[in-house]
Amino acid sequence: MLNRDSVQSSLRRQFGLDTDHRRVPPAERGIADMMVALYRGYADPLSDESLFAWHQMILDGRQDVRAIGRYRDHDDPMQVVSGPLHKPKVHFEAPSSSTMTAEMRKFVTWFSAPAPDGKSPLPALTRAGIAHLYFVSIHPFEDGNGRIARALAEKVLSQAIGQPSLIALSHVIQRKRSAYYDALEAANKGNEVTPWLRYFATTILDAQQHSLALIDFLLAKTRFYDRFRSRLNERQAKVISRMFREGLDGFTGGLRASNYITITETSRATATRDLHELVAMGAFTSSGALKCTHPLSVALPGT
């Protein structure tokens, strides 16, 4: 799990924007570096060197991985295993490390063929799904294969539309992680990948819808602060900031006086007065008659 503020600070620094000059840990700096490299170089041909560079970025600072910035070369089989140690269940075994150079040469060659300007163009969702599955099936690195596979899918989509693609693919996969692993396992039991492509295409479209909804949320949040920021006291501003941190999922159950008291560490009388003020100015909406036990929610202009 990465620190959001550190990733944001590192991204702002990469794009030449103002930062808070915080010290950014290697993991957060590395993922930000890869995101920017993907954003700026989406149209560049894929190569071993570009994959090695991404791998070095996302494993920056790691001491527990021996092969960083190169394909795995250990003798042990690369397996996905579950169950007790005395009776493990092997869900998947990748090609041996000794074949990585040859396997990845084939992959990189294939990756260019179905590109929009390649020899055998494929629809963007089809190419993205196959690229993701093909890459994780080879599993060329000791760690970080999933992140790089998702980056490859975004590279495919960006090349298809001719500009950087901004979709929340990792977020959507993470929310339904077990479904992702089930789809991968099923796809690795044979060469028929149609069910996987249906799953992955749906996931990409869900990620696109999530990204559009997130942009709408951020615009509405900006309009809210433009309208109300100067009218909020310190306690009200703190509570609203806390509610906005929940993002699209919202503040579970709405806000009650008891939540307000916990967040602001104020008295019930003050909390009730603050909430009445927020409803009166139109910043909050109430689900019923305004009493301290009724949930309230932030009223986002334009939504």
pTM higher than the cut 0.75 = yes
Which candidate, 85, 79, 33, 96, places its Cα nearest to that of 59? 33
- Spell out the domain ranges in the chain: 41-196, 232-298
Domain made up of 232-298: CATH architecture: Orthogonal Bundle (1.10)
Nearest 10 degrees: CA dihedral of 55, 57, 62, 64? Answer: 0
Q: Which two tokens stand for residue 155?
A: 């590279």
The region of weakest confidence among 67-76, 267-276, 290-299 is 290-299
CATH level 3 topology of 41-196? Fic-like fold (1.10.3290)
3 state DSSP class of 296:
strand
What is the pLDDT at residue 9? 77
Q: Report pLDDT for 299.
A: 77
**Is the Cβ–Cβ distance between 280 and 290 less than 8 Å?**
no
Q: Give the integer Cα–Cα distance in Å for 109 and 46.
A: 9
What are the tens digits of pLDDT across the range 211-239? 999 899 989 999 999 999 999 999 999 99
When the pLDDT of each residue in the chain is averaged and rounded to a whole number, the result is: 89
**pLDDT exceeding 70 applies to what percent of the chain?**
95
Per-residue DSSP letters for 98-121? GGHHHHHHHHHHHHHTTSTTSSS-
Rounded distance between C-alpha atoms, residue 293 and residue 202, angstroms: 41
**Quick check: helix, strand or coil at residue 139?**
coil
- Give pLDDT, residue 101: 96
Round to whole Å and give the CA distance between 88 and 86.
6
CA distance 238 to 270: 14
Burial of 225 (0-12, 13-18, 19+ CB in 10 A): middle
**Span 97-155, pLDDT tens digits:** 999 999 999 999 999 999 999 999 999 999 999 999 999 999 999 999 999 999 999 99
Which of the pair, 236 or 294, is modelled with greater confidence? Answer: 236
Residue 180 has pLDDT above 90, yes or no: yes
Query: Is residue 266 pLDDT above 60, yes or no?
Result: yes
